[in-house]
């Protein structure tokens, strides 16, 4: 399962109203560190298929959502659970750090 592309218009439906926790990757095409994180997010999307949802938001094309959640630095990974921000990670963080946050979200 690949991460889904989410827009300003689909964010509420795909992320906030999701029955599963959602990891949202806020990124942009020109962002070098975002390119480092993308394959890790894709790997995790396969590993957690059915337990967790993965989404990507292009901050250049979807500024409303990016502004609403105060995205100032990319990549920013945010985990949403029950329509609320559960946790976030900023920068090109190692896979282990992301897994820790995913596991925390699943166990709470």
How many domains in the chain? 1
Nearest to 54 by CA among 23, 82, 28, 83: 23
User: What residue numbers bound the domain in which 31 lies?
Assistant: 4-107
Q: Residue 87 belongs to a domain with what CATH number?
A: 3.40.30.10
User: pTM, whole model, 2 decimals?
Assistant: 0.96
**Alpha-carbon span 63 to 8, nearest angstrom:** 8
Characterize 22-59 residue by residue with b for buried, 16 or more Cβ atoms within 10 angstroms of its Cβ, and e for exposed: bbbbbbeeebeebeebbebbbebbeebeeebbbbbbbb
* Res. 26: pLDDT tops 90: yes
Q: Which positions are catalytic?
A: 31, 34
Q: Residues 46-64: what's their mean pLDDT?
A: 97
d(CA 64, CA 43): 28
Confidence of residue 98 (pLDDT cuts 50, 70, 90): very high
Q: Is the pLDDT of residue 108 over 90?
A: no
Asked if pLDDT for residue 1 goes beyond 90, the answer is: no
Instruction: For 56-90, write each residue's pLDDT tens digit.
Output: 999 999 999 999 999 999 999 999 999 999 999 99
């Amino acid at each position: 399962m690949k991460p889904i592309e989410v827009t300003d218009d689909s964010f509420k439906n795909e992320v906030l109203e999701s029955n599963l926790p959602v990891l949202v990757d806020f990124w942009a095409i020109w962002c070098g560190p975002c390119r480092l994180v993308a394959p890790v997010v894709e790997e995790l999307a396969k590993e957690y298929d059915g337990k967790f949802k993965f989404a990507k938001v292009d901050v250049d094309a979807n500024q409303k959502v990016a502004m609403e959640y105060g995205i100032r630095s990319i990549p920013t990974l945010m985990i949403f659970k029950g329509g609320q921000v559960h946790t976030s990670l900023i920068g090109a963080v190692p896979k282990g750090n992301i897994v820790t946050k995913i596991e925390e979200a699943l166990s709470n």
